[in-house]
A = this chain, B = another copy of it.
Amino acid sequence: MKAEIIAVGSELLTPDRIDTNSLFLTAELNKLGIEVARKSVVGDHRGDIRRIFAEGLERADVVISTGGLGPTEDDLTREVVADLLGRKLEKNQEVLRGIQERFVRFGRKMAEINVRQAMVPAGATILENPRGTAPGLWLEADGRIVILLPGPPQEMQPMFARQVAERLAKRTDGMRLQTRELRVAGMPESDVDQRIAPIYTKYDSVQTTILASPGEIEVHLRAWSDDVQDAGRMLDELAGKIIIELGDNIFTDKHESLEQVVADVLKSNQATISTAESCTGGLLAERLTRIPGSSIYFLGGVVSYSNELKTAWAAVPKAMIDAHGAVSAEVAIALADGIRRRVGSTLGVGITGVAGPDGGTPEKPVGLVHIAVADGHSPIERRLQYLGDRERVRWQASQTALDMVRRYFLHGTGKRHGAKNA
């Protein structure tokens, strides 16, 4: 089965707004075994909306739209689709009552204009909207399904989940999409591809996508099949081979962030952490504390931009900074070890570098970052030379720091994923 997704709204044709509803809908449709063949955005113009629905109905089994169901003159989806399918719009008393009650509940008077939202094309199934006034609509014509959903994600998503998914599932042909996702840190994209291409290319029926973002590579495996168990086994087999090949470089086979994995590792080891950051300016602390309940493992951190504060807060000897410079392996280790001792945490992380765009020298260019993890015994230190702008350098440094903490708990145990590094 094939679907087309249409986003209606002139604001989505400006440089400031993008349709993201289609990402949610694509994920949900794929789960039901429905492939998305086209996505479109049109403005609030009668002719444009009519044409796009007419074209969609010529090609697709399911046409799903978001937006244009509001009460204003600009909201045309309902009207135009009814007209295109040759259905009369009728005032639905039950929907009208629902809208009126909603206004009463919020202590406001319903404007006459909202009656438009109670107009329903003949033969349509009403999809209730507990989060807003505009109901969704399900229509069928000539074996095609047309689903009109509201634009706001907080209304659209629960409506799809509660009232569309199950109805659609009954109409699909049994094909289902199975997916697996592996996330890799500490390797460039080309290396990942070079090492796993000989593996995944042997699996013709699996679509493998490698998505690269700074400091992180995602490997997505997708297989369409009417035999869910068989496809699942095949994906597990392929994922298993990739995990053996990439070993410790894979930090998760779930849909989760590196900071979440680090949080779990710290908790399962009953370890605590503290941070002393310079060029990342608090980004590492911020990422470690994004996770709910982070106070269990994160005790505290400092952003010691000035040399004086490196000494005051993390006990970095002034003489060391004078001798090696603030951006040096020595200072990174001293930051890590100093903050660990001050805070009394299991681990301390120190970061110092040149985020740019200014401050670089021939010896210490923009993008140079030293990162250390100290445990009171033998500190680990890495010297990195990142590419990219200030934001990218800072992000990659925080990513490497998190990955170093993750690997700290792996080494010698190799228990995660039970795989050795090839």
Contact = CB atoms under 8 A, between A and B. Distances in A.
A309 B41 contact: no
A211 B14 CA distance: 12
B299 A300 contact: no
Nearest to A10: B207
A281 B292 contact: no
Interface stretch (A165-173, A244-252, A282-290): A282-290
Interface stretch (A17-25, A143-151, A374-382): A17-25
Interface string A280-316: 1111111011101111001111111110010011000
Interface string A28-66: 001000011111111100001001100100010000000
A220 interface: yes
A13 interface: yes
A364 interface: no
A300 B313 contact: yes
Contact of A38 (B37, B42, B289): B42
B281 A289 contact: yes
A357 interface: yes
A302 B299 contact: no
B305 A303 contact: no
Contacts of A390: 290, 292
Interface of A: 11-18, 20, 22-24, 26-27, 30, 35-43, 48, 51-52, 55, 59, 209, 211, 218, 220, 222, 275, 277, 280-286, 288-290, 292-295, 298-306, 309, 312-313, 342-343, 356-358, 390-391, 394
Q: What 9 pairs between A and B have smallest CB-CB spacing?
A: A281-B289, A282-B282, A282-B285, A15-B27, A282-B286, A300-B309, A301-B303, A39-B41, A285-B303
5 contacts: A17-B211, A282-B285, A285-B285, A300-B304, A313-B313
